[in-house]
Amino acid sequence: MRIMPPANVHTSAWRGIALAFIALVFFGAVATHTLAAQTGAPSGYDIMKAANDKPTGNDMTANVMMKITSKTGVVKTREFKMYELKGKAGESSVLIKFLQPADVKGTSFLTTESAGSGKNQYIYLPSLKKTTRIAASDKNKSFMGSDLTYDDFGSRNLDDYTFKLLGEESYNSKPCWKIESVTKDASSSIRRTVSLVDKETYIIMSADFYDKTDTLFKQMRVSKAEKIGGFWTMVELEMKNISTSSSTSLMFSDVSYNTGLSSSMFSKDALTK
């Protein structure tokens, strides 16, 4: 059984976090279909494809408060503006501009993806007045001192994983499907992920990440979601690093969709502006 996305809506490849995800999974709309209306039990692939293919608008803008908490309880904050744009041919871009504190103000980060060129990432550091491309070998490094990595910003191809429906489970009193996703990429630092997908909104509410030794090392939890402009939106979530006992929370505000963002914003040259 295949669950098809609503017609005439831009969709994008599976957005994984960890921040599996960040803007690309955190902003999800309620799909107009429901698996419950289908005959027969859905497969893990069916559910993850439905979560992937839910409409999310053509563009999104949000203010984000990031709080990084160390093992000893020391808290560092980062404030940034996030922009997302999706193209008609499946392209997607995410732009982040840091506003606070002073030591990161002016830093900009860009991720662009397309079927032809794959993922490209750049970071502009005002202290160096230089834009640098993020190398593939650095994809698992910490993003701005947080528990997120550069690889958490971008999409995932469903065909690169195998999926299994493990059953059903409640999350914050909401019924969810429990899905195991196992990567086919032997070089990936994340071997498998166990996720809880909300049956109503198709938002991935919880995700446990296991490394190559099958040890749990990261957990993502969504604590709050709201319907904004007709789209169910994750507005509060936390990523916890089990191995370091640190955590990073994200709180989204002033979220807006379909405001007509220009593609010229999402270029390497525009990072310095």
Domain chopping of the chain, boundaries: 14-253
7-18 pLDDT, tens digit each? 333 333 334 333
Report whether 36 contacts 47 (CB < 8 A).
no
Beta bridge partners of 94: 84, 111
Cα distance between residue 138 and residue 153, in whole Å: 13
> Which residue stretches of 85-190 are H helix?
none
pTM of the model: 0.82
Report whether 126 contacts 106 (CB < 8 A).
yes
Quote the pLDDT of residue 66: 96
- Domain 14-253 is of which CATH architecture? Clam (2.50)
Band the pLDDT of 59: cuts 50, 70, 90. very high
With residues binned 3-state (H G I as helix, E B as strand, rest as coil), the percentages for the chain, rounded to 5, are 10, 50, 40
Band the pLDDT of 82: cuts 50, 70, 90. very high
Band the pLDDT of 35: cuts 50, 70, 90. low
